[in-house]
Amino acid sequence: MTDDHRAKFQRGLALYDLDGTLIAWDTQVLLCDHVLKREGWRRAYLLFFAAFLPAAKILGAEGMKRVFLSYLWRVDRRQLEVWVNELVAEFFPLRCYPAMLEMLQRDRDAGHLTVLASASPEFYVREVGRVLGFDLACGTPVEMGESMPLLPDLVNHKGEEKVRRLSEILGAPPEGIWPNSHGYSDSSADLPMLACCERNTLVNPSQVLTAIGEEKGWEIVRPGKPWQGKAGHLVEVARRITGFGGSSAPG
């Protein structure tokens, strides 16, 4: 951290998840949709992805994330950066939850250190963080050379791994909790991170996470989503992973 970051950290810490927290979408499917609209032949990744689905429980979230990223096979760094910048310009901050942007601005105005901590690939999480004005941003590091391999190496920045990575950046939370800290998330996967914060805000939490939040006295907010119900969400995800989502027209 820089001296400025350390000074802010002394005043307070705000940890924000990305997908489902600042924006309703899983940003991984947004980038997939964006890329497939520009290079339709990459839809062939769906056959590769489908072949691994029977082994999803064995591979886990980390393994399936590697398989999903096969839609970027052999994309070079410069082209990936172009697509990332296009996507971020389209969705951030325009399609973020207004209420969450207000909370982020409140934390900035208070002089707190703002950190975007996501399980999505770091190669675009950092750009999202820059555009939204976060002090720091980290996501899942994805190993690639000059171009993306078929199955890129990665360590999923989720659960305890997210806390471990944040501890590397911020220092381990003294007595298990960072002083004057506030966590924001929609996911039960972030419970390890939320446990390290003095205060927490849950965004559209599941029934199980709602019960946990109510028991602990956490704030719960429910901003509107751009789809109706679980079925509507599944339809939107299906459209995005096949490159037939709305907007994001090819340049």
The whole-angstrom separation of Cα 87 and Cα 84 is: 5
The pLDDT score that the predictor gives to residue 18 is 98
Q: Is 125 a domain residue? A: yes
Domain harbouring 106, CATH code: 3.40.50.1000
Q: Is the pLDDT of residue 249 over 60?
A: no
Number of domains in the chain: 1
pLDDT for 247: 62
CA angle (144 as vertex; 146, 237 as ends), nearest 5: 115
CA distance 120 to 25: 12
Task: Tell me the residue range of the domain where 188 lies.
Answer: 3-241
In a domain, 62, yes or no: yes
Predicted structure pTM score:
0.95
Question: Would residue 247 count as lying in a domain?
Answer: no
Distance CA 164, CA 167 (A): 5
Q: Is 93 domain-assigned?
A: yes
56 confidence band (pLDDT: 50, 70, 90): very high
Indicate whether 195 belongs to any domain: yes
In a domain, 251, yes or no: no
249, part of any domain: no
- List, for residues 150-205, the tens digit of each pLDDT value: 999 999 999 999 999 999 999 999 999 999 999 999 999 999 999 999 999 999 99
Distance, in Å, from the CA atom of 201 to the CA atom of 221, rounded to the nearest integer, reads: 7
Q: Does 64 map to a domain?
A: yes
Q: Which pLDDT value is given to residue 251?
A: 37
Higher pLDDT, 99 or 246: 99
Residue 246 has pLDDT above 80, yes or no: no
